[in-house]
Every structure is written in C-alpha cells, then in structure tokens.
Amino acid sequence: MEQPVSVNEKVSFRALLSLKSYRYLIFSQFVSNMGDGVYRLALIWLMKVLTESPLLMSILLAAETIPLIIFGLFAGVIVDRGNKKRIMVVSHLLRAALILCIVLLFLFNRLHPAALIIIAVLLTTVSAFFRPALTVAIRTLVPEQHMTQAQSLSQMIQTIVSLAAPALAAGLIAFGMEYAFILNVVTYLLGALIILWINEKELVISTVSEFTAKMIMTDLKDGIHAITKHDFLRNCMIYFTILNFLTAPETILLPLIVSNVTELAMLEISFFIGILLGSLCINYLNRYDAIIYICCGISLFSIGIGMFAFGIPLVWQVICVFVNGIGSAFVNIKMGTLITLMVPKEVLGRASSLISVMVLCAMPVSVFLVGLTTGLVSIFTIFGIIGGAGLLIVVLMLMNPHLRMKKEQSYEYVEQKSGGISL
C-alpha cells in the first residue's frame, strides 16, 4: 500500500499525482471517458438517423436511467462488500462486449431501434456497479486533504477528453457510424488493462463470500442512515431530485434545435470548455459556505437554459451552454467532495448508489413527458420553464437553514466535533 501524503504537505495537483495507484486510476478514467464521450453523441445521433422521432429518442434516454434506479439500490452493497478492483475491470469488459454488439448489428443491417434501447439499458446496468466502485476507489487512494483536488481533477480530465470527443465523434460518424462505437470498445478494453495495474490491497479485499437478502437489506438500511443522518445531505438530495427532473430534457431538446451533427458537436464542446473553466476556478473558491457555490452553479445553469426560450442564434447558443458548463462544474465538484468526505468509507459505495437513485428517479418520467409534449408545446417554451423553475429552487435552497456548512469536513471530523449529526 502506498504511503499517504503528509497532512503538512502543500495541497496541490502535483502532490496528488505523486500517488502511483491514483495515477493509474485517473489514466483509466481518461481513456474510458474518451470512448464514453464519442458513444454518447453517436448513440443519440444514431437513434435520430434510425427513427427521426423525438419520442423514441426520449424513450432511449429514459430507458438508460431506469437500470441506475433499479440496480443502484443493490450495486452499492455489492461494491462495499466485494472486490472493487475486479468489479471495475469486469464492468469495462462487459461494456466493451455490449458496444461490440451494436457494431455487429449495424454492420449486418440488423440494428432495430428496440435493440439499440435494450443494449443501452444493459450498458447502464453494468455502469450502476462501476460508478460506486470508482467512488470508493478514489476515497481509498486519495488522502482527505486532497479530496477537492481529486474531484476537480476527475472533472477536468472528463472535460478535456469531452472537448475532443464531440469533434472526434462527428468525424468518425461522417466516415462511418460504426467507427464511433469501435473506438468505445477499444477504450473500455484499454481502461480495464490499466486498472489491473493498480496495486492497493484494500481495493481487492472481499468481506463476504455470499450475499443474502437479510444482509442486503441491512446494508441498504446502513446506507440510507449514512445519508439521512445529515441534514445537509438529506435536504440536498430532495432539491437535486427536483432539479434533475427539470433539467433532464435538455439532452433531447438540444439535438432538436440544431440542423446537423456539427452544430451539436459545437454545443457539446462549448459546454465542456465551460466545465473546464469552472473546474479550475472552484479550487480557489472556499471563502463562503459550500451551498453558496452550489447555488451559484445552479443559477448559471438555469440562466443558460432559460436563454434558449428566446430563440437565440447559434453563436448565443454556444455562449449559453458555456455558462451551463461553468455552473455544472461548480455543482458537481462541490457536491461530490461533500458526499465523499461526509459519508463513512465503509458504506460509501451503497450511500453513493442510493444518492444516485434518489437524484435520478425522476429523470425517466421527465424525459418521457417532454418527448410526448414536444408536438403540443413549443421547445422554446420548455426551455423557459426549466430555467425559471431552476432559479426558484435556488431561492428555496438559500432560505433553507439546514444547507449551511462552513467547510468541507470529513465524517470523522464531524463525529469528533459534534458527537454525531450536525451540519
């Protein structure tokens, strides 16, 4: 096991990257995120080419979310008790195999929209196990004082990769749709290989030989308690569930207002440039309560979405999604850091899965409803409703006394200072 970085060492990206196993983990994330970025754009564009139906596009996106809700309840239990390294490797290999199925079906002219939806659902099912394993791995490999930098670096790497991914996806799609998915297969295989190089005993320890219904229910109860005992986390999850319900339709609305894949790629690139800038800035913003930066991020995101209600030209669309990206980085990094530090490491897998389930549970309904109403309500009106409702939620969050926390304190620190629950 690698020696932890001294608490007296300056908190910096250089000190963080001195951890060998963490470097392997972050490099694996870099590789797999590249493939994911290409896959996401190629998937929605392939469905558009196959069907030209906003309803089927919305069904695809909604169906992708359902496995996270169903299996997310149990995936965290398996991750906390099982071999985290093996879970991550097997997840990559399974996803590579599923993407390969899309390639083969496409090449042999057998790719029906229903098959695309089924494969997308299976991919998300596997991802439900990978995500909590990655969260626990980061918490295991990274010292507490470097957690904000770790969250920021993960976001920056994802963003840098995502800047290239839309342009790469557009080029590959123009050359041949199948090449975008082949790239994703290769990146998953390479990502699995890199994870095998990680040398950390705590990530390969399995604490149970078999899973029983009683044990799973007990572990789920522990995960729920780890979240609900904190007023801050409990209240945030309520607001974020509502926000996800409101903002989920953006994924299918943006492709509907552009005329070609190049314009969609421009919006994607602008969004990720905003995330990159936000990820850099948030490291230097620690003067005020965490909720201030989270609300600032939600406000920027809501304003960016709301501006689409005015039927703005492409150049202003690019600027607005750039603002969206800055807001998204503020929210994701601050909230991710708080969750990782405030939840005990031994229940972090199931707690992070439960949080994902709580936040995502309203998304399929939201996406499906928008798919049904696009023929009845103007797309621009929907953008305006989303933006206005997001700003209203910001006001409610700022007025909530339970959402005030002076600093990003770990679970152990809070327990020592308060004897239990208190934020």
Residue by residue, DSSP assigns 71-83 as HHHHHHHHHHHS-
pLDDT, mean of residues 11-36: 81
Q: Which residues of 311-332 are buried (b: 16+ CB within 10 A; e: fewer)?
A: ebeeeebbebbbbbbbbbbbbb
Query: Residue 323's pLDDT band (boundaries 50, 70, 90)?
Result: very high
The amino acid sitting at 325 is: G
The tokens describing 264, both together, are 């969609």
Q: Measure the CA–CA gap between 153 and 13, rounded to whole angstroms.
A: 8
pLDDT at residue 173 tops 90: no
Calculate helix-pair angle for 314-342, 261-282, nearest 10 degrees: 40
Q: Measure the CA–CA gap between 104 and 95, rounded to whole angstroms.
A: 14
**Is 371 in contact with 55 (CB distance < 8 Å)?**
yes
Give the pLDDT score at 160.
Answer: 74
| Dihedral sign, Cα of residue 120, residue 121, residue 124, residue 126 | negative
Domains and CATH numbers, the chain: 22-198+220-418 (1.20.1250.20)
Query: Residue 210's pLDDT band (boundaries 50, 70, 90)?
Result: low
Taking alpha carbons only, the member of 65, 169, 189, 180 closest to residue 117 is: 65
pLDDT at residue 8 tops 70: no
Calculate the average pLDDT of the chain. 78
How many Cα atoms within 13 Å fall on the side-chain side of residue 270?
A: 19
Q: What percent of the chain has pLDDT over 90?
A: 12
Q: Measure the CA–CA gap between 3 and 359, rounded to whole angstroms.
A: 36
Q: Measure the CA–CA gap between 70 and 73, rounded to whole angstroms.
A: 6
pTM of the model: 0.65
Give the pLDDT score at 188.
Answer: 94
Q: What are phi and psi of 206, to 5 degrees?
A: -115, 125
Give the pLDDT score at 12.
Answer: 61
Q: Measure the CA–CA gap between 234 and 246, rounded to whole angstroms.
A: 19
Give the H or E element holding residue 173: helix 147-175
**Is 331 in contact with 295 (CB distance < 8 Å)?**
no
Taking alpha carbons only, the member of 373, 365, 368 closest to residue 69 is: 365
DSSP helix/strand/coil, 6: coil
